[in-house]
């Protein structure tokens, strides 16, 4: 890949940063003093860094840290081989609670691809990394810079917000023109001698000071460089569509000696996971309602209605899926979406 600073287009003067070198120095000094000590920043192992990047794609840092998700995952799958060879059930169980299960399937695909197509050698450039399943431009830049100190820019949601304010960019940021502009700025600002700490610093500044709703401008270490006067109005984004409300009607069917009936998901989103079996509202209207639970899943707000049913009254399935009784011991090891894990936990305690 060519030097990102040499390929970037010139910045229009209204958006020109006063002194790029001073900006880099200020940002790096701040980060050296105050940068967070996240577990994935203590390693240069590209496998561990790829795991952290995929894990953090749709999960907050706070949740990953608080639940030691990164460390626990690496305890279970410490290297490429252990991940590449893992049965799907173990993978899904290890990813439980993080959601977006395609991420773990792609991560396993990436491990398999490195072992088979790259002879076990981790790609060290953004181009090589982007050839792996589930690795896009941001993740490739992050792994290249964090693991190999390769001078690749990165633009994630935090960096987009920070750059749009820093350069006072008032266009909608989702357009391809704006994306080109943001990546170009990230390339021009990048300190090619220290891409690893520089990219971490940029992300952390966006995450801690240049926050979406209340940017901490008076305390911001780069406030003297920042061109916007109206940070709260930036970045400009397309209005989000309202979440769709959905009701699902599920059964709690338990045999006398304890086993519970569970169904295995097919679809694409949660394929392979186990959950309470579902039927139509019409089929369940005469069964006693045990309770309701709400949860969110990609643009949907779901209300789960749970009905009690005896094994002999089980209504027929409208669409054939695998349904099986499992003992409470087996349930512990089954991969299950967390709303169902929580519901089942309360039902079994009651
Ligand atoms: S001065 Fe404010 S708007 Fe500018 S980068 Fe810092 S926190 Fe963001």
* Model confidence band, residue 9 (pLDDT cutoffs 50, 70, 90): very low
| Residue 58 included in any domain | yes
Coil, strand, or helix at residue 240?
A: coil
| 162 Cβ below 6 A of ligand 1 | yes
pLDDT tens for residues 284-304?
Answer: 999 999 999 999 988 899 999
Mean pLDDT of the 125-148 span: 98
Chain segment 300-323, per-residue pLDDT in tens: 999 999 999 999 999 999 888 899
Instruction: Give pLDDT tens digits for 164-197.
Output: 999 999 999 999 999 999 999 999 999 999 999 9
* 141 and 196 part of one domain: yes
From the CB of 233, is ligand 1 less than 6 Å away? no
In a domain, 238, yes or no: no
Q: Tell whether ligand 1 has an atom less than 6 A from the beta carbon of residue 228.
A: yes
* 220 alpha carbon – ligand 1 mean position (Å): 6
* Cβ-contact 13, 198 below 8 angstroms: no
User: What single-letter DSSP state applies at residue 39?
Assistant: G
Ligand 1 midpoint to CA 163 (Å): 9
Mean pLDDT computed over every residue of the chain: 93
Q: How far, in Å, is the centroid of ligand 1 from the Cα of 341?
A: 41
Are 192 and 317 in the same domain?
no
Cβ–ligand 1 contact at 107 (below 6 Å): no
Tell me the best of 217, 225, 232 to mutate to test the pocket of ligand 1, counting ligand atoms within 8 Å of each CB and taking the most.
217
User: Which amino acid residue places its CA nearest to atom 7 of ligand 1?
Assistant: 210
Looking at the structure, tell me whether residues 62 and 190 fall in a common domain: yes
> How far is ligand 1, taken at its centre, from the CA of residue 276, in Å?
47
Is the pLDDT score of 11 beyond 90? no
Residue 318: active-site member: no
Whether residue 142 lies inside any domain: the answer is yes
Mean pLDDT value of segment 153-158: 97
pLDDT at 13 (0 to 100) = 57
CATH number where 83 lies: 1.10.340.30
Total domain count, the chain: 2
Identify whether 235 is preceded by a cis peptide bond (ω within 30 of 0).
yes
How far is residue 169 from each of residues 10, 52, 77, 118, 236, measured CA to CA in Å?
A: 15, 30, 42, 40, 8
206 CA to centre of ligand 1 in angstroms: 8
Please report the pLDDT score of residue 6 as a whole number: 39
Ligand 1 closest atom vs CA 222: 6
| 241 — pLDDT class (breaks 50, 70, 90) | confident
Q: What integer pLDDT is reported at residue 262 of this predicted model? A: 97
Q: Output the pLDDT for position 344.
A: 95
Q: What is the DSSP secondary-structure string of 242-269? A: PPEEEEEEEEEEB-TTS-EEEEE--SST
**210, 233, 256 — which closes off a domain?**
233
Q: What pLDDT is recorded for position 1?
A: 40
Q: What is the pLDDT of residues 80-120, one digit of tens each?
A: 999 999 999 999 999 999 989 999 999 999 999 999 999 99
Task: Specify whether the CB–CB gap between 51 and 39 falls below 8 A.
Answer: no
Ligand 1 close to Cβ of residue 235 (< 6 A): no
- Looking at the domain assignment, is residue 171 inside a domain? yes
Tell me the mean pLDDT in the region 228-243.
93
From 233, 264, 283, the end of a domain falls on: 233
Based on the fold, state whether residues 102 and 248 are members of the same structural domain: no
Domain of 335 in residue numbering reads as 244-349
Each residue's pLDDT tens digit, 271-281: 899 999 999 99
Ligand 1 atom at minimum distance from 221 CA? 6
Verify that 88 and 200 share a domain, yes or no. yes
Average pLDDT (120-127) is 98
The verdict on residue 239 lying in a domain is no
Phi and psi angles of residue 263, each rounded to the nearest 5 degrees, phi first: -115, 145
Same domain, 38 and 163: yes
Query: Do 150 and 19 lie in a common domain?
Result: yes
Centre of ligand 1 to C-alpha 228, Å, is: 8
Residues 132 and 262 in one domain: no
User: Stretch 245-261: mean pLDDT, rounded?
Assistant: 95
Q: Which atom of ligand 1 lies nearest, measured to the CA of 223? A: 1
- Can you tell me the mean pLDDT for 319-347? 94
Q: Nearest C-alpha to atom 2 of ligand 1 is from which residue?
A: 217
Listed in sequence order, the residues at least 6 apart from 259 whose beta carbon sits closer than 8 Å to its beta carbon are 325, 326, 327, 328
Residue identifier of the C-alpha nearest atom 4 of ligand 1: 226
Is there a single domain that holds both residue 265 and residue 204?
no
Which whole number is the average pLDDT over 58-78? 95
pLDDT of residue 2: 40
Q: What is the pLDDT of residue 166?
A: 97
pLDDT at 3 over 80: no
Q: Are residues 219 and 253 in the same domain?
A: no
């Amino acid at each position: 890949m060519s030097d990102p600073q040499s390929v970037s287009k010139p910045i229009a003067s209204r958006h020109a940063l006063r002194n790029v070198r001073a900006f880099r120095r200020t940002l790096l000094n701040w980060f050296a003093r105050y940068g967070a000590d996240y577990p994935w920043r203590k390693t240069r192992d590209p496998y561990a860094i790829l795991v952290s990047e995929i894990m953090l794609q749709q999960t907050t840092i706070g949740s990953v840290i608080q639940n030691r998700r990164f460390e626990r995952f690496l305890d279970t799958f410490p290297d490429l081989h252990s991940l590449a060879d893992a049965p799907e059930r173990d993978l899904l169980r290890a990813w439980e609670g993080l959601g977006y299960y395609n991420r773990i399937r792609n991560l396993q695909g990436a491990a398999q691809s490195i072992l088979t197509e790259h002879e076990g050698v981790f790609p060290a450039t953004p181009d090589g990394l982007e050839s792996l399943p589930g690795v896009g431009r941001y993740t490739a830049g992050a792994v290249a810079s964090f693991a190999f100190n390769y001078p690749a820019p990165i633009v994630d949601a935090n960096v987009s917000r920070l750059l749009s304010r820093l350069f006072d960019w008032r266009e909608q940021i989702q357009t391809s023109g704006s994306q080109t502009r943001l990546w170009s700025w990230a390339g021009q600002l990048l300190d090619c001698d220290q891409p690893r700490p520089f990219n971490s610093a940029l992300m952390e500044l966006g995450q801690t000071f240049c926050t979406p709703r209340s940017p901490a401008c008076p305390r911001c270490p780069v406030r003297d460089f920042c061109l916007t006067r109206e940070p709260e109005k930036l970045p400009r984004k397309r209005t989000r569509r309202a979440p769709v409300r959905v009701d699902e009607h599920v059964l709690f069917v338990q045999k006398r000696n304890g086993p519970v009936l569970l169904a295995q998901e097919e679809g694409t989103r949660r394929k392979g996971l186990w959950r309470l079996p579902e039927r139509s509202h019409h089929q369940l209207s005469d069964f006693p309602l045990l309770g309701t639970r709400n949860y969110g899943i990609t643009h949907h707000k779901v209300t789960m209605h749970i009905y009690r049913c005896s094994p002999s009254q089980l209504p027929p399935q409208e669409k054939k899926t695998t349904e099986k009784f499992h003992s409470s011991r087996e349930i512990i090891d089954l991969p299950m979406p967390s709303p169902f894990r929580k519901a089942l936990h309360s039902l079994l305690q009651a």
